[in-house]
Structure 1
Amino acid sequence: MAPAPPGRMAVFRKGTVEIFKRRWPRWFFIVIILQAIICMVFEAYTFALFQRGLRNVDDEKFRDDSDVQSQLKTIPTFLGLFILGFIYEVILVWDALIAKNTIQIIGVCIANLALLVYGGLQISQIHDAIDILKQKNVFWNVNVWSETEAELIAIPVIIGVITLCIGFLAWKLYQEFAWDILKQIGADYRMKKRFLHYQVYIALLKFDFFFFVGFTIQFLVVVGGRSVVEFGLTAAAIPVTIAILLCAAWSTRREWKAGMWIVGILYLGGLTYFIYKLARIYTPSQKQYYKPVQKSLTAFAALTIVLIILTIINALVCLFNFNHGLKQHLLKSPRQEMDKDQASYSMHDVKQPQLPSRMTID
């Protein structure tokens, strides 16, 4: 009786072990984890100094001041988004290294640049928040900015250095994974090109999710919505977005044309939503509510708009690639790949039996 094929968890476990067995994947993963730990420690330290320097913010004069309350949420929002960003980046790297997805690895390098920009915006926005709160006499520690400035500046510097490092490592990974992709897809140039378009599309969906959620968190926490209806609709958009992105990935993998057209219409709706939000941030009657996170919201909205446009373009390219044989490669079970790899290893490990030597007596 043949043994049962390995489960999906076994495939992921094997892929994770291979990350640490191979030189360049191991270093890429370690560098990303170190960046996440160091930057989150600096961010948490800044948050602790900020909170420790505050007076009793439950005092009635502070509690009823909407400007004070919105500025008080600035640092917690940045802290939460950085934690989300670094953890999500570690997950993306882990997933990309297991799948040997060089496009996603390159996407992580670009996302790191976005975190670098976000870290730079954080410095000016927190400085403005501290100045406003000091004018409102919210701080008992008037030196809070001088105590936190060095850590805030260090975060984008660290991200910049790490971005250079992972850029070099991504190039090494591209060279290393080229042979693995060739084994999966074959030498057909057109098929490799279709597979590349598919990888780009799936990577874009993953980054769409992060930037959409990042924008929504900032909006809900700091701005809060100007009405209960607006708040509820914005919060409900998160699970709806997850469902849309999952449907988009499934439709592409299964080459379901109707699903792709439905998702495409929803993309246009999302694009309209973010253009509207970006315009609303700078509407004279509304921009005062967005002031605490105006720069970061603008950056997230602009990046999300660009990502949605790129996603729509790649969705159309993937749609035109349907019914050309890529589906068979994509639906190939990872268990089969694992069995094939194990068989390949076993063929190399089996030594040819040696013929027994005989002594002859003449």
Structure 2
Amino acid sequence: MLLYSAIQIDQIREAVDTASGGNTPENPNNYDPKKLWRVIYPFLIAIPVVIGVITAFMSFVAWKLHDEFAWTIYKHISADLRMKRRYLIFQIYIALLKFDFFFFLGFTIQFLVILLTKNDIEFILTIVVIPVTILILLAASWFTRRENKIGASFVIILYFGGLSYFLFKLVRMYHGDKVSFYLIARRSLTIFAIITVILLIITIGVAIQCMLNFDKGLKQHVNRRKPTDPEDKHQMQDFNSGTNQINPPPRMEID
């Protein structure tokens, strides 16, 4: 979002200049482009600044939360450094899947809204790719949690297919007979495509590392379990509704 908010400054400037081209005495647009730019420019600068500050603050909070949950991780994973490293790789992989979803969806939506027409076959194919991508990412998480080597291997092959798709789009935006077709949003699409390619390469590497960690005892830690610690059981009971509370035994009265 920080990169996108910085890119949109030049895009909005180009839009203002383009709109001012029709501002003639015979057909006025009823606005001065220079005056309009002076009004909106401070807001366009403030957007990436605010996003950057909030991102830095959220990074600090996330670091503090990691320290708070370190004890919980220790209780479930134990003090085995190798097991903790495997669990960390698994967590990184799940986080990468979420980032992949965001950037792929961002690229696809821009592609649909800005570039394609409804009569184009590529429009229909791009629409179909969205739910398929969601299913692939969900399957990647499911196969990794169950340590299914065949399924995880198939997902990695699909990653290479997605990588080829984005590389093809990058080349197509700058070479070929459809270069002018992409000029409207080529800058933002390029940023999203490059970031997605980098994330896919990292995701493939981490996915292979997760496969190498299969059958080494991590499966029982990543799957959901009932709390075995008495303290955790007590916390679970505190969140239960009032209908599940245990009534105290009746008292005996002595006349």
The two structures have a TM-score, normalised by structure 1, of 0.60
Q: Is contact 1:280-1:287 (8 Å) kept? A: yes
Cα offset, 1:177, TM superposition:
1.8
Q: Deviations over 1:306-342 (max 9, x none)?
A: 0101110011000010001110111232x43697513
Q: Is the 8 A contact 2:170 2:190 kept in 1?
A: yes
Q: Which one of the candidate residues 6, 16, 19 is aligned to 1:133? A: 19
Instruction: Name the counterpart of 2:139.
Output: 247
Equivalent AA in structure 1 for residue 20 of structure 2 = K
CA pair 230-263 structure 1, distance change in 2 beyond 3 A? same
When structure 1 is superposed on structure 2, of 318-327 and 223-232 the one drifting more is: 223-232
Seen in structure 2, the aligned counterparts of structure 1 residues 211 and 337 have a Cα distance that, compared at 3 Å, is farther
Q: By how many angstroms is 1:134 displaced?
A: 1.8
Matched residues in 2 for 1:267 and 1:245: separation?
Answer: 10
Name the amino acid aligned to 2:75. K
What secondary structure does 1:140 align onto? coil
Aligned-pair distance for 1:248? 0.3
Pair 1:165–1:315, CA change in 2 (3 A)? same
Alignment of 1:28-43 (within 5 A): none
Deviation at 1:153, TM superposition (A): 1.1
- Pick the structure with more helix per residue: 1
Select between 265-274 and 141-150 the one with higher mean Cα deviation: 141-150
State the aligned residue count. 231
Change beyond 3 A, Cα 1:337–1:209: farther
User: 2:232 — aligned with what?
Assistant: 341
After superposition, the CA RMSD in angstroms is: 2.2
**Secondary structure of 1:336 counterpart:** coil
Structure 2 CA distance, aligned partners of 1:241 and 1:219?
A: 15
Distance 2:231 2:191 in 1: 45
For 2:13, the aligned partner's letter is H
* TM-aligned CA deviation for residue 173 of structure 1: 2.0
Pick aligned residue for 2:102 from 165, 188, 210: 210
Larger deviation: 292-301 or 220-229?
220-229
Aligned to 2:251: none
Gaps of 5+ in 1: 1-114, 347-362
Code of the aligned partner of 2:161: G
8 Å CA contact 1:216–1:234 kept in 2: the answer is: yes
2:252 corresponds in structure 1 to none
Whole-angstrom distance in 2 between the partners of 1:318 and 1:123 = 41
Aligned to 1:306: 198
Tell me if the contact between 1:219 and 1:225 (Cα under 8 Å) persists in the aligned partners. no
Contact 2:76 2:221 in 1 (8 A): yes
From the superposition, tell whether residues 339 and 225 of structure 1 become closer, same or farther in structure 2 (CA, over 3 Å). farther
Q: Distance in 2 between matches of 1:207 and 1:316?
A: 18
Aligned pair in 2 of structure 1 residues 330, 290: CA closer, same or farther (>3 Å)?
Answer: same
Describe the shift of the 1:345–1:236 C-alpha distance in structure 2 as closer, same or farther (beyond 3 A): closer
Q: Is 1:196 matched up with 2:88? A: yes
CA gap 1:239/1:314 in 2 versus in 1, 3 angstroms: same
Distance 1:225 1:267, change over 3 A: farther
Is residue 125–residue 292 contact of structure 1 (8 Å, CA) maintained in 2? no
**Deviations 1:183-208, CA, capped at 9 Å, x for gaps:** 12111111101100100000000110
Q: How far apart, CA to CA, are the structure 1 residues paired with 2:30 and 2:73?
A: 60
2:112 aligned residue:
220
In the other structure, the counterpart of 1:67 is: none
- AA aligned to 1:261 is S
The offset of 1:271, in angstroms, is 0.2
